[in-house]
Chains A and B, each alone.
Chain A
Amino acid sequence: MGSLEVRGLTRAPWWRDLDLALEEGEIAVLRGPSGSGKTLLLRALADLDPVDAGEVTLDGRSREATPPPVWRRAVRYAQQGAPCLPGTVEDNVAAIATLLNVSHTPAPGLDPRADASRLSGGEAQRLALHRALLGTPQVLLLDEITAALDRDAAAEAEARVQAFARGGGSVLWVSHDAALAQRLGAREVSL
């Protein structure tokens, strides 16, 4: 599970003929200057933004041949800014769990009764990672998911992502943290 392949992906003027392969269990850190299209690439891989050309496959299956909800459940994108749904932390987890038809587990380190609209940036990111891991995603596309976390919380989040990769999932992680790839023993990809 979790082998993602990108061939000739083009979205002018950001990137042209982009090739990228993520093996099962691999974590790659995507780096590049602001405005180079890192977020756009994650969005395109999650099929939330169109591309001009190119092909994306998951375990050999083409994205175009997969219904969008099925693709996005497998290729899971955690948005930059970690937006929340209305209601409490528990409501947020329950809404996504219901959508995925899985039982919901409480988000670690967060008060389930807390109002999601009042979470700090770091808390919202923990919630976002927890939501992204619900169900059985095969690929995680993480967009600055630990940018607002303190060192301990970031380490905990990194451990969760590493555990996901050990289970066979692959990860493409956009981050400005220069040491992230080294800490995770991950490949670095530049845009």
Chain B
Amino acid sequence: MIAIVPLTLTDLGLAALLVLANAVVDLSLRLGLGRRLLLAAVRAAVQLALLGWVLGLVFETEGPGVVLLVTLVMATVAGIEAVRRGSRRVPGIFAASVGVMLVSSFAVTSYGLLVVLDIPGPWYTPQYAVPLLGMVLGNALNGISLGLDAALEGFDEDRARVELLLAHGATRRQAAAPILRRAARRGMIPILNAMIAVGVISVPGMMTGQLLAGADPGTAARYQLFILFAIAGGVALGTIGVVLAAERLVFDDRDRLRTDRIRRVDP
């Protein structure tokens, strides 16, 4: 096995030629995606360059304060993005989403670092903590966003059925239960599908990275499985947390379903 081959800027330039395939399709089919494509490619390049630079700094400092700061920033951005992706909003949902994102990702990452991994050094060692947190957050974001959108859509569009149950003496939770179940399911299905498909249909990104870096395939597979389980835990906690938060925000203190609080937006 050979060690990782460094990529020069010229190599990356050659890789960027592959994006030209998208440009060709765009031009030939007149998709009108030219600007978006360019923007997406430039954004990806800038964001990853920044990530590489920031991670370099974080890895050097090794202090818990920096890891905590990175966690807060990443979870806040992910929490906001999870709401922004949806088609409906309700007052207080941004704070709730950020809170849920923080708690779920922090809980799962801490468990992984403290209980699963036997790190030679402090448990918050950035080299392990930051990538693990990033993987959990990135995937929890998807589940939280899908679950939240399904919950608010359900309350907005199924109001008559929720109120039918309320009008016959159901508690808020009893009346909301069918919508909460549906929303939680919608949030968790992508990670369940990913667990079923992994290794058969796709070689996952993290495992690919480890293999390219020269890791033993068995170790890479075990790490991938660990990450998948951590992601599944984060998605489950995050989705359930945000769906329950949505329920709390759309009902008032007299258990009235306040669909007037739900605002539709263009995602």
> In the complex, are the beta carbons of B256 and A48 less than 8 A apart?
yes
Place the interface of chain B in its size category: 10 to 19
**Contact flag A77-B256 (CB < 8 Å), given A83-B160, A83-B161, A85-B161:** no
> In the complex, are the beta carbons of B167 and A99 less than 8 A apart?
no
Most B CB contacts (10 A, CB to CB) among A47, A48, A70, A73 go to A48
Contacts of A30 in B (CB 8 A): none
Q: Does B22 contact A (CB under 8 A)?
A: no
Contacts of A81 in B (CB 8 A): 160
Q: Mark B239-257, 1 if CB is under 8 A from A, else 0.
A: 0000000000000101111
Contacts of A78 in B (CB 8 A): 167
Within 8 Å by CB of A73, from B164, B169, B172, B174, lies B169
Interchain CA distance A155-B263 in the complex, whole Å: 43
Contacts of A104 in B (CB 8 A): none
> In the complex, are the beta carbons of B163 and A48 less than 8 A apart?
yes
Contacts of A131 in B (CB 8 A): 168
Within 8 Å by CB of B255, from A69, A85, A96, A99, lies A69
Within 8 Å by CB of A50, from B168, B169, B174, B254, lies B254
With both chains docked as a complex, state the minimum distance between the C-beta of B165 and any C-beta of chain A, in angstroms.
7
Contacts of A79 in B (CB 8 A): 160, 163-164, 167
Contacts of B163 in A (CB 8 A): 48, 79
Q: Mark A43-56, 1 if CB is under 8 A from B, else 0.
A: 00011111000000
Interchain CA distance A85-B178 in the complex, whole Å: 11
**Contact flag A68-B254 (CB < 8 Å), given A48-B167, A100-B168, A131-B168:** yes
